[in-house]
Structure 1
């Protein structure tokens, strides 16, 4: 990258501003020559602009080389029309920026085995990557409400994928598996859903280009069971939007805390939006209790995937590990560190 990278910081709602601030502190400490611009998003944006994704925020996101995102969601706006609720901001960004590939790593950090709901010897083996398709499926298919011939209210959501969408995300899955342990599990529900049968057919077609990767197919209900029974057996998982949403959150609890997991949402050229997966957690917002590690690790993913700064990303990962190894923990991990104190520990680890 031969220009000064511009990072859009969209802190959002709830604990978003708190954890994003700690990620920004870590990036600043690395002196990487980045520039930053902030903009409101979600409920915070609705308060000032009457829309969760104002034109100025979207323009910044399009102009930036990468986006560091906090979280959206505010119970104060639950009564708004769906298209004006805070959560629509992230859906709008995915759609407008064509962010079709969501990467969610789930890896246990040494010393956190006891925080997992699983037995420590099972949790210790977790090191997987979930690739979730982000711009199709029931989230973006035709939806609505209607009245049946019997006069009953009915809701409907269309699950749909075309072969190009499936091949595109399948290729990301295979390419990711090639950089890892060359094992890919494609998750679907092909025994029931026609959409999933197409998914499976296309994944098999793409597999011909990656003979080095061991491919397996798994129904989503079985995948959910195996993630609890033997999560260490998984390396890379590729799946659709709905199934990926559920499985990636399940994987987060297998590693101990949703406050530890970052994510990347990428377009076809490697530009991405990076966010912790924990959501806005309005019940602890402003109290300094939030775990900033997921946001900090999201910043590391940003350096690695969008900015070509893998060495700096490795430094951040190592600093988080070092802080945890010293026993630094926020409340979600059974400790008493504040958000800023956890950030201080990571900075010390640098």
Structure 2
């Protein structure tokens, strides 16, 4: 079953008309979920993350408290900046397994610290939250170099170059294995076409490097084409594009893309390009989902350590990701109202954080969103 994950509400006739199709997403709801407690309150695992994570998740908590959202937080302050927090990480994982739903900032992964795996990747692999969805859309009131950008990036989350299988076979010689399986390529391709059907999208583009990696990416591409033929009767168009050409086409003519599906590493790169096209990582929401679990986090995965503790981060992406979570839980009206308030603040242009060309603080942006909800 596919469910809309992020949309906007009807604050007024003008707002409804303007934002009715601004952002939307669909994905399979988990097959299992624990019943709500206390007459409809949902317990959600909260992992603020590193860098600006604590500040932007505080914004979400402040907004949710203002609207009396039926959410109870089960918070774990896991940090990827230290390799000594394994116990807290495992506690957070047990919480996610209980609650089935989480809201998460980005956990920092050191480059030079050998042996310390990425806990972001570990969560996705251990919970099999295999699909990443990142929404890139031009927002009214915030013009960028390109207009009318509107595409979704769907990224396979659990294998490819992020399999973590590396070893030094000889001093100075490292072998890194890229794992590709037909089963997971089939699963993510079907997810992409189901997403397109649910959200009235017209085309799915497979991004690959099968001209060079003929077996690995060739398997991904050929599986995509086989799945695409099964959806031919639905009217959804499909094509494929080599990843380096995709990067050029994105910055030259992004309007040609609708839904994009790709292996893990390409998704990491393309989501950063997509975020830059529409205004940066501060406004791009996202989620990671599987059959049992759903984890919501900003679509562009940056910890922004340079902004940590300065009250200058843009909380819009995290707030919008949280509204996706609310819609996933069936709390549509509250999600619509909060998303509309965020879009109204951006559209007015009076309160903008530094990444959007303004000087407003995180607190001021949050207060502006709350004022729109009054």
TM-score, length of structure 2 as denominator length: 0.83
Distance change >3 Å, CA 204–CA 52, structure 1 → 2: farther
Alignment partner, residue 133 of structure 2: 103
Alignment partner, residue 254 of structure 2: 231
Alignment partner, residue 201 of structure 2: 181
Question: How do 1:140-219 and structure 2 match up within 5 A?
Answer: 140=163, 142-147=165-170, 153-178=172-197, 179-193=199-213, 194-211=215-232, 212=234, 213-219=236-242
1:232 counterpart SS class: helix
1:52 CA drift (Å)? 7.8
1:192 counterpart SS class: coil
Q: Distance in 1 between matches of 2:89 and 2:201?
A: 42
TM-score, length of structure 1 as denominator length: 0.89
Which of 285, 288, 294 pairs up with 1:262? 285
1:142 CA drift (Å)? 2.5
Q: 1:53–1:92: 8 Å Cα contact kept in structure 2?
A: no
Distance change >3 Å, CA 174–CA 155, structure 1 → 2: same
Which of 314, 321, 325 pairs up with 2:343? 321
Question: How do 1:1-350 and structure 2 match up within 5 A?
Answer: 2-3=35-36, 4-43=41-80, 46=82, 50-51=85-86, 54-73=89-108, 80-83=113-116, 88-113=118-143, 116=144, 118=145, 123-140=146-163, 142-147=165-170, 153-178=172-197, 179-193=199-213, 194-211=215-232, 212=234, 213-269=236-292, 271-276=293-298, 277-304=300-327, 306-327=328-349, 328-350=351-373
How many residue pairs get aligned? The number is: 330
Q: 1:137–1:160: 8 Å Cα contact kept in structure 2?
A: yes
Distance change >3 Å, CA 183–CA 295, structure 1 → 2: same
2:86 counterpart SS class: coil
Could you list the runs of 5+ residues in structure 1 that have no partner in the other structure? none
Could you list the runs of 5+ residues in structure 2 that have no partner in the other structure? 1-32
Q: Distance in 1 between matches of 2:340 and 2:169?
A: 53
Q: Distance in 2 between matches of 1:180 and 1:53?
A: 41
CA deviations on 1:259-302 (whole Å, 9 max, x unpaired) are 11111000124x31111224221111101010000110110111
2:161 counterpart SS class: helix
Q: Distance in 1 between matches of 2:111 and 2:173?
A: 21
Q: Distance in 1 between matches of 2:204 and 2:106?
A: 30
Q: 1:53–1:89: 8 Å Cα contact kept in structure 2?
A: no
Q: 2:346–2:352: 8 Å Cα contact kept in structure 1?
A: yes
Q: Distance in 2 between matches of 1:54 and 1:68?
A: 14
Q: Distance in 2 between matches of 1:219 and 1:78?
A: 28
1:78 CA drift (Å)? 5.6
Q: Distance in 1 between matches of 2:87 and 2:111?
A: 13
Q: Distance in 2 between matches of 1:336 and 1:57?
A: 35
1:154 CA drift (Å)? 1.4
1:132 CA drift (Å)? 0.4
